[in-house]
Amino acid sequence: MKTHNIRFYYQGKIHEVAGQPTTRTVLQYLREDLHCTGSKEGCAEGDCGACTVVTAELDQTGQPVLRAVNACIQFLPALDGKALFTVEDLRQPDGALHPVQQAMVALHGSQCGFCTPGFVMSMWALYNRQTSARPTRDDILDALSGNLCRCTGYRPIIDAAQAMFDWPRIYFDYPALALALRSLQRDETFEYHHAGHSFFAPRTLSGLAQLRLDHPEARMLAGSTDVGLWVTKQLRELPELIYIGRVAGLRDIFEADGDLHIGAGALLADAYDALVQRYSQLHEMRRRFASLPIRNAGTLGGNIANGSPIGDSMPGLLALGTRLVLRCGEQVRTLPLNEFYLAYQKNALQPGEFVQGIRVPLPVPGQRFRSYKLSKRIDQDISAVCAGFSLELDDNGLISNARLAFGGMAAVPARAPQAEQALVGKPWTLEVVRQAMQALQHDYQPLSDMRASSRYRMTAAQNLLYRFYLETRPDQPLAVQQTRVLAGIADSEV
């Protein structure tokens, strides 16, 4: 059985790896094999950011893109063809601190120091983005959303991120990185085998389809933001992995036939950027969907295919009438997202079939759409209830189409047929909305768990529908700031 070495650009040269387990994490390899211990292990699930590193790969135009990711859940073979940067790379030739590090020192952004390398790498990725404009405070908050500090407090760290451009600028050598990355690209499927376990990274859709047929029991791997935890937390064995991150065309995003087409391999960051361009109402959901390092690694197709009942992307996509493009060999079919989930952790995929893309209908005139998330924290928290609502009114002001969907209310993300029926054909009035709110009790029997009680979930779901009405009612609709009880407090703190 042939096997390739894992090749990636690291510390100024091409680095090759062999003889490592297929599910060895990047963090384990850095700390235990390379003895580069700047990156820390905190949670081992991509939440705390102590392990943050920066990877680089070529985009569709052949230019390198830097992204902060969590090393603790990234599998080492997935680095093939990419570049890796850690806090050790910030050391300057003369031993001086990088401006990002200098700002942290000068602005007192570190106490115990455990979390500091992760913060520094998130800031370094922001520092090196290819734009002349300094990041805004919102940019900084978004960049640091995946980093947790328990002792310093965020004000001095945010101050450091704002001040890191005040020192003499160090410019990143993108041309040299581009040359190195181009030399690493493969034309054939990358195969890596160790101790009876296999890791495949096909380059083409047809190659992916054939691998899926040849290895129907293999686990499809995208960003490792879910599967990585199976290894680090559940200690599961994954004998066969098919990595989709190198498949040409699977990250494509384009408009055609009245739909926004999003490849199943499109990163969450890119997919939500495209969705927000068409549906500005998803702006808050984009920011609150996990953290930036998770959005830099995870994919929209993976989030949908895994089908978590609390997955934040599905309610909004269900409300928009999204369809999935499914492929098995050379056969392609389209299935409404509403028909994809059959039961808890069970979907409509046939043996050898996989999600190839997502088709989201473009906005239509008169459409009213919102997506809401309720959780205990604003940033990087699991939803107690997530909702997506879409209405269309006819020329007489009657509701011609209604799609209401929720996450956290059932074993799968699901629409609310009884509540939808209570709306269709009727005017968009408070009386009608109250009828639909009551109908939700016939659509869901939510469970109680550590995040919320059944009663809370039902009350919250009903109130979110009421909030949707207040923001979209025909007469005197309320602005979003008027329906968020903490909006004024948050704005004043910023």
Chunked into runs of 10 residues, the chain (494 residues) has average pLDDT values of 94 97 98 97 96 97 96 98 98 94 97 96 96 92 94 94 96 97 97 98 97 96 96 96 96 97 97 98 93 96 91 96 98 98 94 97 96 91 96 95 97 97 98 98 96 97 98 94 64 34
Strands 83-85 and 190-194 come out as unpaired
The per-residue pLDDT for 485 is 64
- What is the set of domains in the chain, with CATH numbers? 6-88+174-243 (3.10.20.30), 93-163 (1.10.150.120), 253-361 (3.30.465.10), 368-488 (3.30.390.50)
d(Cα 123, Cα 137) in Å, to the nearest integer?
Answer: 12
In the three-class reduction of DSSP (H, G, I as helix; E, B as strand; rest coil), residue 372 is classed as strand
Token representation of residue 66: 């830097």
In the three-class reduction of DSSP (H, G, I as helix; E, B as strand; rest coil), residue 190 is classed as strand
d(Cα 484, Cα 283) in Å, to the nearest integer?
Answer: 15
The per-residue pLDDT for 128 is 97
The per-residue pLDDT for 1 is 76
Distance from CA of residue 402 to its chain's centroid?
Answer: 27
Q: Name the residue type at position 457.
A: R
Give the total residue count for the chain: 494
d(Cα 203, Cα 185) in Å, to the nearest integer?
Answer: 10
Burial class (CB in 10 A: 0-12, 13-18, 19+), 79: buried
Buried b (16+ CB within 10 A) or exposed e, 130-166: eeeeebeeebbbbbbbbbbbeebebebbbbbbbbbee
d(Cα 38, Cα 91) in Å, to the nearest integer?
Answer: 12
d(Cα 156, Cα 111) in Å, to the nearest integer?
Answer: 11
The per-residue pLDDT for 487 is 57
HSE-CB of 324 using CA atoms within 13 angstroms? 27
CB contact at 8 A, 54 and 125: yes
